[in-house]
Amino acid sequence: MNRIHALQLLAGALALWSQPAWAEGDQAPGFLCLGESESLMRGTSLDEIRRERDYRLAALERGKVAEPLIAHTHCVIAELMRRVGDARADDEYQAAIAKNPREPAYELWYGRYLMWSRGAGAPLSESAELHYSLALEKLKGYQGMTQVGSTAAVAREWTTRNLLSLYQEDGLALLPYGAKAYPFGRTNAALPQLSLAVTTNVARDTNDLWEQADVRRFSAEAQVARQRLSPDPLSREQLRAIARAPLRYDGLARLRLRQSWLGVLDGHYRQVELKSSQITAFDDPTRFNDVTVKELGADWRRTLPLYPAFDVTLEAGAAAQDRTGLVEGDPGRKERIYIYRGAPTVSRFVGPDKLTLTGAYVYFDIQDNPTGALDERPRERVLRAAAIDYAFYRPFVLPQVQDGTFASKRVYTRGLHFFATVMSDDERFGTTVVRKTTYGGGSVLKGWQGFDFMLMGNYFRYATEVNRDVQPQLGSSQWRSNVRIMKRLIDEEITPGMPPSPLTSLELVIPLRHDLALSGPNDYENVRGGLELWGKLLAPGLRGSTFLLNASVEAQYFYHLDKVIALAQVGVRLGWPSFGTLPAFF
């Protein structure tokens, strides 16, 4: 029995023990719902859960449920529906709340459902916070509120913990009153909060801001240099120099306005410095110059529950970016780029599972070159992406090691995901159009024995067209195999209340990958592996701010060039970017 279930059962038992019988007309305590539903779902199949749901629905319909248990029964049905992906859970939570409007726990369970089960790629934050706030409001003056271990105190603690998780990416709350900031003294969900996020990251990496596929980038650079130096061939030293890991400093400051009907509105400033990152001129691919990127932008995100159809998350943003060091032959030249981006995500239950579709469109309005032939001046870039994710949340019979025994058991995981992605990144340089296409697919099993396992493959393609003619000598394709194994050393989701230590989460990741050339140069085939450590620190004294820390060390071996590059990364984030559906390389 894992700890979260034990706590939930304990809470249920507490509810029964502290109030073993309730007077006629009184309602069953809200924690009883959680205890009963958890015990009904433990080790049972989906069909059995559905039968329990239908049995209770029928009992309610026939009026066979005693008055004190009607709200409780609606809540149990809602919890069972949550597990089997029945979107009518909404109605059942609301019925439980309507029947027993004084019970804070029903608001808490409903908030948890909206936060953890619903939503498209992101929690239904605006809906969830409303019910958490109502839970806190109803807890005010609740008997036993100050009594340690009372159900009211537990409900308060769990609600607080969920709100902390809901707002953890926001950073430090700035407005003096307590709305949306620990300890959540003001419970009006409509009140806005302004938060400050600050992130810093220092990395030495072969991936850069714009191209995560280093193998594709190095191959393309070598091809351009080879063409430029023709008829001379590229030397081995030149090829080795192209495989590089520049030092990168990345800092971001963001102000976020969060309001329940608005969603989140962000304004940010980001500055990135890359040392000796860009090939200055391709006729000498061993000389590099620094790159500086400064970005001022605004983003908006709103989640919308549109069931019975689906949940939606809408994201849109715009930014002005100044880049210096990216124009070949003119490393001091500054380019001004306006970036417009949008990403809709929809999600719905398919039985107990969940299907999520994401699209993304990013338009880069780049200053045309001021000089040169007229048809060589236009500059433009468009990035389009789509992703599909199917997450199995049904229980699986999996081998389990527990208390020194090994046996196969039916267990719930945090999802077995199968996903596929496609992304096209087209950039025009006058008569030349460079097209980068990436296909990806894979699977992640989350939450089995404290591990996540990910297997993923990527197909990278690079093509160059000049006046619409494909240039075979400036094209390549690669295959990347990825394995990621993650062990949760400290699992924040195990503790439903306030964590016992400020270090709420600690994860160790082993990333391994191999890049194989399919066409074009094979010089940059490589293997890469290492260790990553991710941790979260909760600072209740800093109004509940959460810090995300990461550190990694990796080694990358380009075996055809016999070159090993040591890679490292350290990051500290107070709050973090939420534009998560797009790659972070703008």
Q: Which is nearer to other proteins, 180 or 341 (CB)?
A: 341
Establish if 439 lies at the interface with other proteins (CB under 8 A).
no
d(CA 448, CA 488): 10
**At its nearest, how many Å lie between other proteins and the CB of residue 415?**
24
Tell me 369's DSSP state. Answer: P
Among candidate residues 519, 521, 508, the one with its CA nearest the CA of residue 479: 519
Residue partners of 280: CB distance under 8 A and separation at least 6: 287, 288, 289, 328, 329, 331
Tokens of 120: 């498209």
CA 223 to chain centre: 36
Q: Among 82-90, 129-137, 206-214, 369-377, which window interacts with other proteins (CB under 8 A)? A: 369-377
String of contacts with other proteins for each residue 275-294, x by CB under 8 A: ---------x----------
Tokens of 140: 């005010």
**228 C-beta neighbours (distance < 10 Å), count:** 15
**At its nearest, how many Å lie between other proteins and the CB of residue 517?**
19
Q: Which of 361, 396, 412, 439 binds other proteins (CB under 8 A)?
A: 361
d(CA 465, CA 118): 44
Q: Which is nearer to other proteins, 235 or 408 (CB)?
A: 235
d(CA 64, CA 346): 39
Q: Which of 262, 466, 553, 584 binds other proteins (CB under 8 A)?
A: 466
String of contacts with other proteins for each residue 372-411, x by CB under 8 A: xxxxx-x-xxx-xxx-------------------------
Among candidate residues 385, 451, 345, the one with its CA nearest the CA of residue 119: 345
d(CA 209, CA 584): 7
Tell me 514's DSSP state. Answer: E
Establish if 426 lies at the interface with other proteins (CB under 8 A).
yes
Establish if 342 lies at the interface with other proteins (CB under 8 A).
yes
String of contacts with other proteins for each residue 19-38, x by CB under 8 A: --------------------
Rule CB under 8 A: which of 219-278 touch other proteins? 226-233
Q: How many residues bind other proteins (CB under 8 A)?
A: 49
Amino acid making up residue 163? L
Rule CB under 8 A: which of 167-226 touch other proteins? 226
**At its nearest, how many Å lie between other proteins and the CB of residue 57?**
38
Q: Which of 176, 308, 332, 467 binds other proteins (CB under 8 A)?
A: 467
Amino acid making up residue 510? I
Establish if 335 lies at the interface with other proteins (CB under 8 A).
no
Amino acid making up residue 470? V
Tokens of 192: 């806005």
**At its nearest, how many Å lie between other proteins and the CB of residue 579?**
13
Q: Among 25-33, 204-212, 425-433, 531-539, which window interacts with other proteins (CB under 8 A)? A: 425-433
**At its nearest, how many Å lie between other proteins and the CB of residue 267?**
17
Tokens of 566: 């040591």
Establish if 471 lies at the interface with other proteins (CB under 8 A).
yes
Half-sphere exposure of 465 (CA within 13 A, CB side): 10
Q: Among 103-111, 269-277, 334-342, 569-577, which window interacts with other proteins (CB under 8 A)? A: 334-342
String of contacts with other proteins for each residue 66-105, x by CB under 8 A: ----------------------------------------
486 — alpha (psi -120 to 50), left (phi > 0) or beta?
A: beta
Q: Which is nearer to other proteins, 263 or 499 (CB)?
A: 263
Are 96 and 108 contacting, i.e. CB atoms less than 8 angstroms apart?
Answer: no
Establish if 428 lies at the interface with other proteins (CB under 8 A).
yes
Establish if 343 lies at the interface with other proteins (CB under 8 A).
yes
d(CA 207, CA 32): 52
**At its nearest, how many Å lie between other proteins and the CB of residue 302?**
13
Are 563 and 586 contacting, i.e. CB atoms less than 8 angstroms apart?
Answer: no
Among candidate residues 244, 238, 246, 239, the one with its CA nearest the CA of residue 275: 246
Q: How many contiguous H segments (helices) and E segments (strands) does the chain have?
A: 10, 20
User: Residue numbers of the site for other proteins (CB under 8 A)?
Assistant: 226-233, 284, 316, 318, 338, 340-344, 359-361, 363, 365, 371-376, 378, 380-382, 384-386, 424, 426-428, 430-433, 466-469, 471, 473
